[in-house]
Structure formats: structure tokens, C-alpha cells
Amino acid sequence: MDYTALGWYLSIFAWLYFTGIGIPPCPEEAGILYAASVTASTPEVRWWLAWPAAGLGIICADTTLYGLGRWWGPRLFEYRWVRRIVKPDRRRRIEDRFKKHGLKLLLTARLLPPLRTGVFLLAGALRYSFATFLLADAIYAVVGVGLFFFLGTGLVELLHRLGHWGWYLGAGAVVLYLLYRYFRYLQAREAKGDAPPVSVLEVVVPEEPAKGPPVGTGLPSAGK
């Protein structure tokens, strides 16, 4: 038994499990790309085991969140840390959508890490069908995880063939993507009416206080 490869499989499972429950809150795609990079760069790791390890980590994490919601019920959303994940008004909207679009909601919500956690907790609290919940997870574990896994594996292999220039191109693509996401973030804030954050390129000049008469100096009266 190759214990080195076993350690890699366990690391893939652990990465997807802990990020799946929100520790730390980051997209699951980052963990899937980690699994793909390990598979492409480590000869001992087999894709037909790394791929299921990633999918199993996601399913176990989602089942944990569902179980917490089912165990605690609606009172779980009285805790402050849960209310920060799912605001009360958003929670009511999600509850209404679960009645008609439960499966679709489970598939689309996982693309947003904080909302994903709240939706899975809410599915358990509402006692949503566990069979349908597992079906949604299985669909994503096969289709979604497989898509990101094999695309990531091919990308890492291509970067290795290109050498240093490939890594430069990859880093540039990541920077451009982050800038694009930041631009969309500013657009969303502006659409909501929120003031956008101050750019790092802007220099904030403090306003000078209004000049007036010195303290203790009165104006001359009309009779003088």
C-alpha cells in the first residue's frame, strides 16, 4: 500500500470537507483545483481515486451542514453567527424558493460560499427531503467536480509543459480574473446604492476645518 498516495487522498478529502463547512469560507473550486494539481504533478496519485475523494469530501461536508440544521431546527437561526451567514429577510426568500425550486436552489447556491452554507443549514432545518438533497450532491459530485477536476488537470499539465512562461501566463490570468471580480463587486455595490470603497490609487485629503473668528473674540457690537 502506497502511504504517500494515501496521504494525498486524505489531504484532498480534508480540504474539500473543511472548506465545504466554511472553514475557511472559500469556493469549493479551489479545493477541486488543488486535487487536480496534485493528480497532475504526483505520479503516485491516480485520477480515478482523487476525483472520488474530492466528491466524497463535498458530500460529507454538505451532509454535516444538513444534519446540523435538522438537529437544531429553526432555533439554529437565532444564533448571531448564523444570522450573519443568512440574514432574516434572505432566509424568508430562500424558504419560499425551497417549496418550488429546491433541487435547483441546492445546485446553484453552492457557487457562493457563505450563501451555500446557509442554504444547506436551512434545508435541514426545513426537513427538506434528504434523498433529494443527496441527489443534488451526487449530481454536482459527478458533473461539477468532474468538470473542474479534468479541466484543472489539463491546465496544470499544460503549464508544466510550457515551463516558466506557463506559470507567468497562469499568474497573469489569475490577476486579470481577480480584477474582473473586483470590478463586478464595485458594480454590484453601486447598483445597491452603497458607496464604493476608496481605491488604493486615491489619496484621501482631509477637509480643513471652516475658518471663523478666534475663540473668545466677540464681534463688535452695533452700539460701539
Q: Are residues 78 and 177 both part of a single domain?
A: no
pLDDT at residue 185 greater than cutoff 70: no
The more confident residue out of 2 and 96 is 96
Residues 187 and 136 in one domain: no
How much is the pLDDT for 224? 45
**212 — pLDDT class (breaks 50, 70, 90):** low
What per-residue confidence (pLDDT) applies to 192?
59
Q: Write out pLDDT tens, residues 121-138.
A: 999 999 999 999 999 999
DSSP for the chain reads: --HHHHHHHHHHHHHHHHHHTTSS---HHHHHHHHHHHHHH-TT--HHHHHHHHHHHHHHHHHHHHHHHHHHGGGGGGSHHHHHHS-HHHHHHHHHHHHHHHHHHHHHHTTSHHHHHHHHHHHHHTT--HHHHHHHHHHIIIIIHHHHHHHHHHHHHHHHHHTHHHHHHHHHHHHHHHHHHHHHHHHHHHHHTPPPPPPTT---PPPPPPP-SPTT-PPPPTT-
Domain that holds residue 171: 163-198
Question: Do both 143 and 173 map to the same domain?
Answer: no
Rounded distance between C-alpha atoms, residue 188 and residue 169, angstroms = 29
The tally of domains found in the chain comes to: 2
Tell whether 68 and 117 lie within a shared domain.
Answer: yes
Q: Are residues 50 and 121 in the same domain?
A: yes
Same domain, 178 and 153: no
The rounded mean pLDDT for the chain is 79
In this structure, the answer to whether residues 54 and 101 fall within a common structural domain is yes
Quote the pLDDT of residue 70: 94
Better-scored residue on pLDDT, 116 or 44: 44
Statement to judge: residues 104 and 179 lie in one domain:
no
Q: Which of 85-89, 138-142, 184-188 has the lowest mean pLDDT?
A: 184-188
Is 151 found in the same domain as 170? no
| Stated pTM of the model | 0.72
